[in-house]
Amino acid sequence: MVRAGASFQTTIGDVVRLVGIGVHSGKRVSVTLSPADPDTGIVFIRTELPTGRDVEIKATWKSVGATELCTVIGDPAKATIATIEHLMAALRGLGIDNVTVEIDGDEVPVMDGSSIAFVEAIEQVGTITQAARRRYVKVLKPIRVEQGAGWAELRPHNGSRYEVTIDFPTALIGRQTCAIDLTPETFARDIARARTFGFVKDLEKLLPLGLCRGSSLENSVAIKDDRVLNPEGLRWADEFARHKTLDAIGDIALSGAPIMGLFRSYRGGHRLNFLALQALFSDETAWALVDAVPGRREAPVTKAAVGRTVSA
Cβ proximity of 94 and 184 under 8 Å: yes
CA distance linking residue 51 with residue 69, whole number of Å: 28
Q: Is 24 a catalytic residue?
A: no
Catalytic one of 133, 134, 242, 270:
270
Amino acid symbol at 211: L
**Which residues does the annotation place in the binding site for Zn(2+)?**
86, 243, 247
Q: Which domains does the chain have, with CATH numbers?
A: 8-133 (3.30.230.20), 135-195+239-310 (3.30.1700.10)
Task: Please report, rounded to a whole number, the percentage of residues in the chain having pLDDT higher than 90.
Answer: 85
**pLDDT value at residue 293:** 65
Q: What is the average per-residue pLDDT within 39-66?
A: 97
The pLDDT value given to residue 12: 98
Question: What pLDDT digit, counting tens, does each position of 215-250 carry?
Answer: 899 999 999 999 999 999 999 999 999 999 999 999
* DSSP codes of every residue in 83-120: --HHHHHHHHHTT--BEEEEESSSB---TTSSSHHHHH
33: amino acid identity, one letter: L
Total length of the chain: 312
Q: What's the predicted TM-score (pTM) here?
A: 0.91
Q: Assess whether pLDDT exceeds 50 at residue 145.
A: yes
Q: How far apart are the first and last CA of the chain?
A: 29
